Structure 1
């Protein structure tokens, strides 16, 4: 699209002043209009489609090996949830093209029921972001983004992979664009018998019985320039997934979960010399069914529908000052089935946020934001954020962020029968982080200590009547440090890239003074990539420290530390054909991210990628 002077500045200026001449740039249309503004003040780790191929089994595996997020997975391909900085899955926001898609029922995203393939970029942002991305953006946010190119003609690609345990992953993508129209479509299908076996350290042989899964995802997007300053765009996604939940004994009855999700977004973007405006209308739908017997009738389920309108107005009223106003309205509908006890419910929610940015010089910038949410029958808090970034020297950059964030109770928290509690208050958090970035002779090092205090955390606890109920309970204090080291060197046709990430997390229940369950104290992730003309080789590894599985820090039920290494190679021939080979868990390490459910030992895959 034609990105006018103000937006070009916002994406690339680092505080540079407006020039006197407008410049039209035909590059890429980005559905999440806020993401590039966020990157001006906050580090966002971006995982490209090329890097995603290294961990193509599912989104859980990708995040486990390429981000600081801890992933708790009930066996490969089963229920999976993330943890940022010692928080819970409900305190992580999943954002699809700028729209928060956390389940209205659970208040979280099930990672293995979100497609991995088909996105152009996956972004990982640690730290609170409720002023921009709403409820649940307390510990961090995971961004699933689609982009559209202009003036690129026709491109297509086919990715096909066969792997251990009768696993098959396939992705077909195609796009066409000229100077005023862009279209892109993709379809992916993954299926696995998932019948792996693991010899545990206790000498027990674990078999992942009833562990098969399959899912299909279709994505379509288009954009049209109706006038030099106006563009209409649309993107939709359709997901259909089925999971069989593992059982421990052949005498146990297998269970099954199915889900069908729909997401559709229409956007009208207006860009002029000093302002831009993005108006979005979205519809999201989640349908799910649980079967207590694989071949039996539906036991419980639900359907949720969300209608969303959002307007993002951005204006430069002087060369140094920029104001951004974001208004949003949602109508959330839910209808439970079977044993959930949730009837036909609906909730109105809205918000108004304002952000003021000041570019003092090319090396110094600030952003301050405020937001008020209006959630029906919920007393929502007033939110704020402040960020600053200072390029103090060629080799050192400092950044500071302070914010208040929140999570509204989900439908299950409020209405599940028995146990739902209509008197729940939203969770709120206060947090601060100090970013230090060093760049010396091509070596990039970032060190970020942080602190977080969460109040009115919603927990499901046993009641005197024998069932679990939802309550606002303890406060949680979380602090730690995240570090990232990157180095890249090119010598002729040789390219070497290395990265190492480390996170230390101390997340404590202030009532018991104990570490929260499923929050490891230490996590390392790293990798080395080497490329030479037609050859690419890589290794990647993860170390996960001791992880408690209960709230009492019981040692004999804790998950032991583990180190897992993967390796792969790709060979490109005839320019457009690449054959890849991967070996996962080279050392056949026995490891768990969830008690009782070991992940696979050594396994293999081979893939073919064709570009046309």
Structure 2
């Protein structure tokens, strides 16, 4: 009850602020785009993929985990509907994906990961996926890749609202609302969402056993986001972002259990204040961030109760200088202070991190070069500096070559360092070098475009942290005991055919990734040269989009090769999803009606062993969009 009351308190608090944004006087000020600087969002030498507000409405996703699972070839470790979802990019661990919100990391410093299913699609206007090592630009954890969520203003769209209602199988319902009010100087944007599901689907345990109904699997989440954009004058902009989130997850029994009474409650508060000044060829930016999370775990059957919470304060200043249209210089300094508390800690450990970053980009008519270096100081210790160098070269009008070499690292988490009776404060950062090469070619005429790219990558990480028993005891503790070699190929093909009446798009990719341990380990038993757990060697996708008049048809097919679980091999599987929608559009209003069928072939499969995935299920919804420029 307290959670619901606080949720609606924020709504009541924010609505008056929105109304203040309406004014009778319009000031004509040139637009300043408030976002993370391009030199970091789109680094040289690697491919990145961007989804923005204009195309997320047509996607088969309600959260970031679903988006990446449907629209990219990275592996999403999904523990089941309404449960934890993390990523593995290019054979890395979940902690090797850095998640950013408006340029600041938001994953837990205690665990080093973030549940991607808790990031709703309407929480940001732009989502960027960067594959490959980017530690020099973003810091610890960016070994496999970066997922960046950005909130962006649209001062040309002064008044707009959007709302959606969705219902689906297994008690799945969702309501989302967004409103923006303001003028060419000030804009207020508020987003509210609520989603819940029972997830009481039937699934197979074994061929010789009857189907079982999943129990204790309810999920509920509420979000409130408030963005304020203020053009102080033609050179200065002040922006604030606020995000309050509540979620409750029951944890269902796995296939070896008959019953579960476990559940978890999460509450997070995120706030960012961002100032930006633009003067001729110089951009200055300052950021302050505050992040607080509280996680409570309960198991009524065993009486177990745990509480984990942390608070992080962060600040960053950066500057970007453009010189003679060829040179870009970027300098940044940041500091992070974190305090964590847990039933598993003694006291309240803290972590202080200070980082310096320098990046330079040279742009000529047919090539670009970017080099970056970072130095961090963590709790009184210097982390060895990390460099990277990237090159884009337009060899022919139809052929582009990209290459990057980088050193990357991930710091030990607070749990690794401070867990009572097990933590190891002498752990070294996981670190190593990565290299990649991409060839991209394209053809086009008046009715079609065709793009083919292939990326080859190689990465060696030493001091990989694993938890294992020590000295013949039953207690596990972390240590730098593994060395992992990841390498692979990522071909991608996109074809678009368009006329005045119809658009057809085909998007396909098939990744081949080997990520093997190079040191034999006894417990957990890992043979030298064996593929890492839950890391498929082959994963592919094929998406088909068809637009005709006011109709939109989308089919998405995914293939995941067999993976090694902790107890047995999990077989490969195919999953298909369909979305059909129809929209009506007037001058200022747009209505979208849609239907989705997920797992249309009704496949019985497992992403994580002993965790059931839902059979064929349905979702129906309607979206209303209104805008007034």
CA distance in 2, matches of 1:95, 1:274: 27
Q: Is structure 2 residue 179 aligned with structure 1 residue 174?
A: yes
Give the C-alpha shift of residue 27 in structure 1.
Answer: 5.6
CA contact (8 A) 2:46 2:403 kept: no
1:585 to 599, 602, 615: 599
1:416 to 405, 414, 419: 419
Q: Is structure 2 residue 513 aligned with structure 1 residue 505?
A: yes
1:543 to 559, 563, 577: 559
* 1:238 counterpart residue number: 244
CA distance in 2, matches of 1:37, 1:543: 29
* 1:349 counterpart residue number: 353
Secondary structure in 2 matching 1:165: helix
2:314 to 304, 308, 313: 308
1:38 to 34, 42, 46: 42
* 1:267 counterpart residue number: 274
CA contact (8 A) 1:43 1:125 kept: yes
**Which moves more between the two structures, 136-145 or 25-34?**
25-34
CA contact (8 A) 2:222 2:245 kept: yes
Q: Is structure 2 residue 556 aligned with structure 1 residue 561?
A: no
2:497 to 489, 492, 495: 489
CA distance in 2, matches of 1:62, 1:348: 34
CA distance in 2, matches of 1:63, 1:52: 15
CA contact (8 A) 1:80 1:111 kept: yes
CA contact (8 A) 2:50 2:128 kept: yes
Q: Is structure 2 residue 76 aligned with structure 1 residue 60?
A: no
CA distance in 2, matches of 1:26, 1:483: 42
Give the C-alpha shift of residue 297 in structure 1.
Answer: 6.9
1:405 to 405, 408, 429: 408
Give the C-alpha shift of residue 132 in structure 1.
Answer: 1.5
CA distance in 2, matches of 1:433, 1:496: 31
Give the C-alpha shift of residue 573 in structure 1.
Answer: 2.5
Summarize the Cα distance change of 1:519–1:308 in structure 2 as closer, same or farther, 3 Å threshold. Answer: same
Give the C-alpha shift of residue 282 in structure 1.
Answer: 0.7
Secondary structure in 2 matching 1:54: coil
CA contact (8 A) 1:358 1:367 kept: yes
CA distance in 2, matches of 1:316, 1:47: 27
- The count of corresponding residues between Structure 1 and Structure 2 is 580
CA distance in 2, matches of 1:480, 1:66: 19
* 1:457 counterpart residue number: 464
Secondary structure in 2 matching 1:112: helix
Summarize the Cα distance change of 1:437–1:322 in structure 2 as closer, same or farther, 3 Å threshold. Answer: same
CA distance in 1, matches of 2:415, 2:623: 42
* 1:594 counterpart residue number: 608
Q: Is structure 2 residue 285 aligned with structure 1 residue 278?
A: yes
TM-score normalised to structure 2 length: 0.89
**Which moves more between the two structures, 485-494 or 499-508?**
485-494
**Which moves more between the two structures, 343-352 or 448-457?**
343-352
CA distance in 2, matches of 1:590, 1:298: 33
Deviations 1:306-346 (A, max 9, x none): 11111121012443222110110111111113xx2342111
CA distance in 1, matches of 2:394, 2:193: 43
* 2:541 counterpart residue number: 525
Q: Is structure 2 residue 333 aligned with structure 1 residue 330?
A: no
Secondary structure in 2 matching 1:495: strand
Secondary structure in 1 matching 2:338: strand
CA contact (8 A) 2:44 2:369 kept: no
CA distance in 2, matches of 1:342, 1:31: 40
CA distance in 1, matches of 2:358, 2:249: 42
Deviations 1:395-432 (A, max 9, x none): 11001101001111111000112311111011112100
Give the C-alpha shift of residue 36 in structure 1.
Answer: 6.5
Secondary structure in 1 matching 2:600: coil
Give the C-alpha shift of residue 99 in structure 1.
Answer: 0.5
CA distance in 1, matches of 2:593, 2:206: 36
CA contact (8 A) 1:75 1:246 kept: no
Q: Which runs of 5+ in 1 are unaligned?
A: 1-23
* 1:186 counterpart residue number: 191
Q: Which runs of 5+ in 2 are unaligned?
A: 1-27, 520-527
* 2:223 counterpart residue number: 217
Summarize the Cα distance change of 1:69–1:365 in structure 2 as closer, same or farther, 3 Å threshold. Answer: same
1:114 to 101, 111, 119: 119
CA contact (8 A) 1:289 1:298 kept: no
CA contact (8 A) 2:43 2:370 kept: no
CA contact (8 A) 2:44 2:390 kept: no
CA distance in 2, matches of 1:312, 1:125: 21
TM-score normalised to structure 1 length: 0.91
Q: Is structure 2 residue 581 aligned with structure 1 residue 570?
A: yes
CA distance in 2, matches of 1:261, 1:280: 19
Summarize the Cα distance change of 1:27–1:394 in structure 2 as closer, same or farther, 3 Å threshold. Answer: farther
CA distance in 2, matches of 1:218, 1:321: 41
Deviations 1:461-502 (A, max 9, x none): 122221110101111000001122112222002111220122
CA contact (8 A) 2:29 2:233 kept: no
Secondary structure in 1 matching 2:318: strand
* 1:21 counterpart residue number: none
CA distance in 1, matches of 2:263, 2:385: 41
Give the C-alpha shift of residue 202 in structure 1.
Answer: 3.0
Summarize the Cα distance change of 1:226–1:28 in structure 2 as closer, same or farther, 3 Å threshold. Answer: closer
CA distance in 2, matches of 1:370, 1:335: 33
CA distance in 1, matches of 2:457, 2:29: 38
